[in-house]
Amino acid sequence: MAPLNQGKRCKGIQIFRPFVYGTTAKLFDPTTNPKPEGTPDDHTHSWTVFVKGVDDTDITYWCRKVQFKLHESIPNPLRMIENTTPGTPFQVHETGWGEFEITIKLYYVPESYEKPQTFYHHLRLHPYGVTEAEKEAMRISPQIISWVYEEQLFNEPFESFYELLTSPVDRSKGTTGGKGKGTRLMKGGMVSSTGERTALVPLASRPGQPFSRETEKAEIKRLREAQGKVEEMVKLAQKDLQDKEKELAALKAS
């Protein structure tokens, strides 16, 4: 099945690209979010499921198309999204009343010679969260967002794909392969780093762009703190252990 002339895999090399996927749901409301024509009466929310680059960067140079598999009750549940302009998300807009698991399948550019990969995302329409406060905050907010940061790893990519991933955008070439339309790339200067093929994540979070170095650092900090706690617990447990051993020894000796 493997096509001819695809070269070799780069041994020991791993390349990653960050991206974001998730859903954004909004309750129908006569004033702010009116029901569009032809929406069934029992539908309560409008929602969007998307796959996009972090900070709206271009991902089309490695991700050719995305298939969203919606619930069977929705007409035409298999939605294939392709040919999006670089810097805009692969997305599906729908209306509905219930939450379900969406199957998302990423198709890679032909240069990669990689098979499509699947992951799942739970559509959230109602406030969720561990604590009541979190739920309350979500209830107040105009929309229910469930966004997930993910990193696409390419383990040992083929050489042609390696070249593609590690070279800057050739702006002179315009439309070649899945790299999108040249004009849009030129305009990309406006949308911060659109058109740059980096794996870098923005330094600071902005409204609507929650994933950044800051968030990462906060997460690492949280994990470290948790680890610290666990370590303390381990110490306590060890002390307890020693006490118990002594007790046992004492019991044995008597």
Partner 1 sequence: MTSHDVRDMLDLPQEGAARPIKKQKVAAPRPVLKGLAREVQNLSGDNPIAIVPEGSIFKKRRFASRKPAAKWELRPFRNSARSDDSLILRHWRRLDEKRKLPPQPAGENRDSATQTMEGVVGGEEQMEDSGFAKFNVQVELFDYSPEEYESRLRSEDWTKDETDYLMKMVSQFDLRWPIIWDRYEYEPPIPEQAPSEADGNARAIIVAPKTRSMEDLKARYYAVTATMMVIRKPPIKMNSAEFSLHEVMLNFNPEQEKARKIFAENSFLRTKEEAREEESLLLELKRINARSERFSDERRELYARLDAPSSSSHTNNFTSSVGLGQLLQQLMSMDKSKKQRKSIMGGEGISPAGPSGPTQQNPDHRRESSARESISGPSAPNNKKGPPNPAERRQLSKEEEEMYGVSRHERIGTSGPAFRQEKIFKPLLAKSMNQQKIINNVLTELEIPPRLIMPTADVGESYDGLLTSINNLLDCRKVADKLTAEINIARAQKAERERLARESENAGEGGDVGAGAETVVGTGGKGNSGAPGSVNGTTTTTTTGPGPTNSEPRNEEKAGSPTASVKGVAHKRSASVMSAVSDKSAKRQKK
Interface residues toward partner 1, by CB under 8 A? 5, 7-18, 106, 108, 112, 114-115, 117, 119, 130, 148-156, 159-160, 162-163, 165-167, 197-201, 211, 215-216, 219-220, 222-224, 226-227, 229-231, 233-234, 237-238, 240-241, 244-245, 247-248, 251-252, 254
Residues 36, 184: Cα–Cα separation, whole Å: 30
3-state secondary structure of 170: coil
As measured in angstroms, the least distance from the Cβ of 24 to partner 1 is 17
CA 146 from chain center: how many Å?
Answer: 10
Which one, 94 or 111, has the nearer CB to partner 1? Answer: 111
Residues 202, 192: Cα–Cα separation, whole Å: 10
**Do strands 90-96 and 45-53 pair parallel, antiparallel, or not at all (unpaired)?**
antiparallel
Which of 127, 124, 145, 121 shows the shortest CA–CA distance to 24? 145
Which one, 2 or 140, has the nearer CB to partner 1? Answer: 2
As measured in angstroms, the least distance from the Cβ of 1 to partner 1 is 13
Instruction: Evaluate whether 62 touches 109 at the Cβ level (below 8 Å).
Output: yes
Instruction: Evaluate whether 90 touches 118 at the Cβ level (below 8 Å).
Output: no
As measured in angstroms, the least distance from the Cβ of 40 to partner 1 is 32
Which one, 99 or 150, has the nearer CB to partner 1? Answer: 150
As measured in angstroms, the least distance from the Cβ of 221 to partner 1 is 9
Q: Which residue has the tokens 């780093």?
A: 193
As measured in angstroms, the least distance from the Cβ of 189 to partner 1 is 18
- C-alpha distance across the termini of the chain, in Å: 75
Which one, 97 or 119, has the nearer CB to partner 1? Answer: 119
Which one, 4 or 38, has the nearer CB to partner 1? Answer: 4
Which one, 44 or 114, has the nearer CB to partner 1? Answer: 114
3-state secondary structure of 189: coil
As measured in angstroms, the least distance from the Cβ of 236 to partner 1 is 9
Q: How many residues does the chain have?
A: 254
Looking from the CA of 112 toward its CB, the CA atoms found within 13 Å total 23
